[in-house]
Structure 1
Amino acid sequence: MLNRHFSTIGQTTLSILALWLIAYVVSAVYTRFACIADIPGPFWAAYSRFWLSRGYSSGCLWKVYHDVSSRYGTVTRIGPNRVLLSDPEETMRILSSRSRYERGPWYDAFKIEPDRSNIISQRDRPRHLHMRFQMAPGYNGKDIADFEGILEARIADLMDHIHADWVSPADSTIPFDIGKWIRHMTMDTITHLSFGRPIGYVDQDRDVMQFTSVMEELLPVVLHFSLFTELNQILKALGKIDFLKKNLFPHHTHTKGLGVVRRIIKEVIASRPRPTPDSKTDMVNSFLKHGLSATEVEAEMAIGLVAGSDTTSTGLRATLLPIISNPPVYRKLQREIDEAIAEGRVSLPIKDTEARRLPYLQACIQEGLRCHPPLVLARERIVPPEGDVLCGYKLPAGTIVGMNVWTSQRNAVFGKDAEIFRPERWLEASEQQLRSMKKVWSLIFGHGTTKCLGENLALTTMNKVIPELFRRFDMATINPDRPWQSECYGVFFQKDFNIRITVRETS
């Protein structure tokens, strides 16, 4: 009798699985031919999200996006109801403040609390705009006392450590992982700006909060939650149970990662009086002053560290590598910096306003970010109820549209050699072409109501770090064939960017 019982259970289970499989196949085939059927793309992508899942797992998401867009066109089908857009003009239209496109469920994966959205995950447009208004003065530095002075202090700290420990003598080489130390510097900078003191990454030469290692483990998982959005509902339900909430989401009792950030912020807030309307200290003070609750500040500061530190670090690395690897560019940039110092056109350390008046430096930064955008997440939107037409393709309501910023930065507006790092293009262009180039280039930092709040911080940091390095040091890659190890899950994780660094005789 027991055998018959288990046999019946087995047959029932197999029947359910068979019915599910049949339903899935029928649904996939229907979706394949009933929705966006005329949009080209990889064969399997039209039937299943697992094609994109494999791309997410590859560790080179930028290449997956670029290859598929280069092969199939500006609008490419990458899922049963999902397309990838690389046309800059259409991207700007979708992201504009008057667009009827709304943020899709993709954003829900970036919550760090089950019942509260942050500046990244917030999908309600009015609430998102209000949050941006509350946080903008902190992110752009207007509410931070001695904003540029803090950056200078953190950069000087890095330079001192390089001089003390990492300069190679004439007869040997001390490998200097400049990528790791840039990450140390950006973490100290952002924590200093955030809650009034650096966390100590540079002084201790280690991942103090195990922040980087946690992000490297977490982001591939988050990407899959952004694709299989049903998982977010399960996670949200589990988050209603206190014990599970503490273990599944960043909590101030945790000993590493975002939980440590939340604990530090909690301690900072508890130790301070309520901010006054005219007070200017740091980002915590600014957020509180503009109406965020203490709990909201904890979450926003944690997400801000994720959004700001990795992207700024990548922007610096990705600009330094092609300069170091290109002798004519290297010499021209270094000569511009030396002449500006000799002529008294820049201070020591250089000010942001002075750096912005060095044309070749600006061309190198613009070209570095163009060739290697630090963030290649799709930032998906939903086609509005009336449907839309993108690049000649009709899209029904509810279609998911992702943005391919990597390929948009290879647009024809940049010239026939758009795949090549060539800063001169920014100096040779006519006035009209330069306007067009800058318009497309600006997509690196988003557009419209989703424009990156940290753009000023990122560019100011690059404007100050790069001249300081080239003023003081000579640099060369140790392994030109493989200058670094780079993985991309929408955000880049770059390791072993080892260079040989020596003190310049003229410095």
Structure 2
Amino acid sequence: MAEPEAFNVARWTISVLLLITIVYYFRRWYQLRQFKGPWLASISELWLAKTALSGSFHTILMDANKKYGPLARIQPDILLTDDPEIISHMNAARSKHVKADWYTFMRFNPFIDNIFSERSPDVHDRLRAMMGPAYTTRNNTKLEAKITNSIKNFCDYFDARLTDPSQSCEVDFSKVAQFYTMDVITDMAFGAPFGYLKTDEDLHDYHATFREQAPVISIINSVPSVGRLLNRSWIKPLWAPTAKDPKGVGKLMGMAKSTVDARIESGKQVDDMLGSFLSCGMSPQQAEAEILTQLSAGTDSNSAALRGIFLYLITSTQTYMRLRDEIDAGIKEGRISTPVTAAQATDLPYLDAVVREGMRIWPPFAGLNIKKVNPEGEVIKGHSIPGGTGIGVSFWGIQRNEVFGEDVEVFRPERWVDCDAEQRKRMEKVHDLVFGYGRYLCLGKVMVSMEIRQTIVELLRRFDFSVTNPTNPWKMTSYVFMLIEELNVRVTRREHPM
């Protein structure tokens, strides 16, 4: 009996679709077949999706390079590296490598690119030229004063809870550090701090919203097909925040817009970050996007860096006492004023070692910052890599590089002072990749370094800190950004503050 014609057509269609699927996955596997990695990662996005949602993003990426080498395959067309030379090559000022889709999904305003998400090298470079002056004390004379004022408010927060000099108080340093960095950024971006420290509240539910959305952000960044779907013009309005939202990122979008509008209507030239952006020719819409980026990216990475450095510092007694002695000696000898200046804090060698070592062992960012290989393909460190291949970064893996010695998992600031000039130079070159490199070097690098150093000096000259639970000092999960909570510390006022 002859088979129905419809059945033959269906069988033929299924066979063709199956063949196309096999060819598609074979081709995806074949193009990077020489690179090792998890088997699932070689044919699909599922391995990286699972990793993105694991809450241990940084360690899984780091372990992938340990197991599979400096170029590990983590998706059919994406490699992961912890090799500083490869990263420097991909990010060099004259490099032809471009940002991958990963960056598109880092728009904090989903409808407009910012300096971080912009993929066109030419547009990125123009934005960078317009934004650069805002991050220098020469062009933004109020920059250091704003940081100094925010540090005072930070210290006042602890003072207000230590009314009796003989008593101590318990504080969630992770929360307070986040409030502090938010006040610093909002003061720079909006002209005045929002008042997170003063109210001791998560104003506009920004941080609560960020915690809720962190896994979503991570999966969108790590699975390009999901990101492309959500960024389609007809889908984006269904999920994207808007300036009319009563809380979260949308609320900040609205505040950024109203701040820029008010500044333009006033016609005044104000010496702050926004004033610098506008005076350098940036459009109002772009200025809104950049202010929002400073709030979102700057706050979370800065606070993660400060909390990481602080935890390692206060749980390392020898380091803590040596740094405190350096600060006390500087005050006694007149090398540190009240308050400390940025130049004075920079001139403390052991403080510099502590900050560098803290950011080495606890980078505030997990990854991936994917760049694409030149369309024609190229040979990188002896490996022939097809054009369009993405290469992501394991920031944690980089900071465990052999240049730092055999004890890379140990917090030891002495490695930065007990070495010769040549070794120090080699370590600094790798360490500074925390802030990016070349044309993609973080504009806020100097500002962040200045802020953290001054903050530590002012805190340690007034207070002593200890963790309340040494066996479980904090609650940490990592996605693209680090989520750190419940870093509970006991604070006491120093008997003879300097």
Distance 1:142 1:491 in 2: 31
Q: What are the equivalent positions in structure 2 for 1:459-474 lying under 5 Å apart?
A: 459-474=449-464
Distance 1:284 1:262 in 2: 15
1:183 correspondence with 2:178:
yes
1:162 correspondence with 2:165:
no
Amino acid at match of 1:272: R
Aligned to 1:108: 104
Pair 135,482 (structure 1): closer, same or farther in 2 beyond 3 Å: same
Distance 1:15 1:502 in 2: 78
Q: Deviation digits for residues 5-28 of structure 1, max 9, x if unmatched? A: xxx99x97x998897666444422
1:410 Cα deviation after fit: 1.0
Q: Deviation digits for residues 327-362 of structure 1, max 9, x if unmatched? A: 110110000000100111011111110011110000
Aligned to 1:252: 243
Aligned to 1:363: 353
- Say if 1:167 and 1:503, in contact at 8 Å, map to a contact too: no
- Say if 1:112 and 1:249, in contact at 8 Å, map to a contact too: no
1:136 correspondence with 2:126:
no
Name which of 419, 442, 446 aligns with 1:452. 442
- Say if 2:260 and 2:287, in contact at 8 Å, map to a contact too: no
Distance 1:248 1:293 in 2: 26
Report the secondary structure of 2:180's partner residue. helix
Q: Deviation digits for residues 74-115 of structure 1, max 9, x if unmatched? A: 111111111101110121011101222111111111224555
Pair 400,298 (structure 1): closer, same or farther in 2 beyond 3 Å: same
Moved more, 229-238 or 339-348: 229-238
1:81 correspondence with 2:72:
no
Aligned to 1:195: 190
Name which of 383, 389, 400 aligns with 2:390. 400
Q: What are the equivalent positions in structure 2 for 1:364-443 lying under 5 Å apart?
A: 364-443=354-433
Pair 112,504 (structure 1): closer, same or farther in 2 beyond 3 Å: closer
Pair 47,79 (structure 1): closer, same or farther in 2 beyond 3 Å: same
Moved more, 197-206 or 295-304: 295-304
1:280 Cα deviation after fit: 4.3
Q: Deviation digits for residues 20-55 of structure 1, max 9, x if unmatched? A: 6664444223322x2121211112211211001100
Distance 1:17 1:355 in 2: 69
Aligned to 1:3: none
1:274 Cα deviation after fit: 6.2
- Say if 1:188 and 1:198, in contact at 8 Å, map to a contact too: yes
Pair 346,15 (structure 1): closer, same or farther in 2 beyond 3 Å: farther
1:264 correspondence with 2:259:
no
1:30 correspondence with 2:21:
no
Pair 267,71 (structure 1): closer, same or farther in 2 beyond 3 Å: same
- Say if 1:115 and 1:236, in contact at 8 Å, map to a contact too: no
Q: Deviation digits for residues 157-180 of structure 1, max 9, x if unmatched? A: 121121111579767x64211111
Pair 114,22 (structure 1): closer, same or farther in 2 beyond 3 Å: farther
Q: What are the equivalent positions in structure 2 for 1:23-62 lying under 5 Å apart?
A: 23-32=20-29, 34-62=30-58
Report the secondary structure of 1:237's partner residue. coil
1:235 Cα deviation after fit: 3.2
Pair 489,20 (structure 1): closer, same or farther in 2 beyond 3 Å: farther
Amino acid at match of 1:176: V
1:364 Cα deviation after fit: 0.1
Pair 264,491 (structure 1): closer, same or farther in 2 beyond 3 Å: same
Pair 381,427 (structure 1): closer, same or farther in 2 beyond 3 Å: same
- Say if 1:373 and 1:444, in contact at 8 Å, map to a contact too: yes
1:436 Cα deviation after fit: 0.7
The answer for unaligned runs of 5 or more in structure 2 is 1-5
- Say if 2:134 and 2:277, in contact at 8 Å, map to a contact too: yes
Distance 1:356 1:107 in 2: 33
Aligned to 1:327: 317
- Say if 2:113 and 2:289, in contact at 8 Å, map to a contact too: no
Distance 2:217 2:92 in 1: 26
- Say if 1:486 and 1:494, in contact at 8 Å, map to a contact too: yes
Q: Deviation digits for residues 110-135 of structure 1, max 9, x if unmatched? A: 22455532111111111100001111
1:219 Cα deviation after fit: 3.1
Aligned to 1:5: none
Distance 2:122 2:462 in 1: 48
- Say if 2:326 and 2:348, in contact at 8 Å, map to a contact too: yes
TM-score, structure 2 as length reference: 0.93
- Say if 1:413 and 1:436, in contact at 8 Å, map to a contact too: yes
- Say if 1:166 and 1:176, in contact at 8 Å, map to a contact too: no
1:390 Cα deviation after fit: 3.0
- Say if 1:139 and 1:457, in contact at 8 Å, map to a contact too: yes
Report the secondary structure of 2:33's partner residue. coil
Pair 23,218 (structure 1): closer, same or farther in 2 beyond 3 Å: farther
Aligned to 2:3: none
- Say if 2:74 and 2:80, in contact at 8 Å, map to a contact too: yes
Aligned to 1:90: 86
Aligned to 2:147: 151
Amino acid at match of 1:492: M
Identity %: 32
1:220 correspondence with 2:202:
no
Amino acid at match of 1:93: H
Q: What is the aligned-residue RMSD (CA, Å)?
A: 2.4
Distance 1:455 1:200 in 2: 24
Amino acid at match of 1:193: M
Pair 16,179 (structure 1): closer, same or farther in 2 beyond 3 Å: farther
Moved more, 109-118 or 376-385: 109-118
Distance 2:278 2:62 in 1: 41
Name which of 308, 316, 330 aligns with 2:306. 316
Aligned to 1:341: 331
Moved more, 387-396 or 79-88: 387-396
Aligned to 1:288: 278
- Say if 1:140 and 1:453, in contact at 8 Å, map to a contact too: no
Distance 2:261 2:275 in 1: 12
Report the secondary structure of 1:271's partner residue. helix
1:270 Cα deviation after fit: 3.0
1:388 Cα deviation after fit: 2.1
Distance 1:24 1:207 in 2: 49
Report the secondary structure of 2:72's partner residue. strand
Distance 1:38 1:408 in 2: 22
Report the secondary structure of 1:165's partner residue. coil
Amino acid at match of 2:184: T
Report the secondary structure of 1:486's partner residue. strand
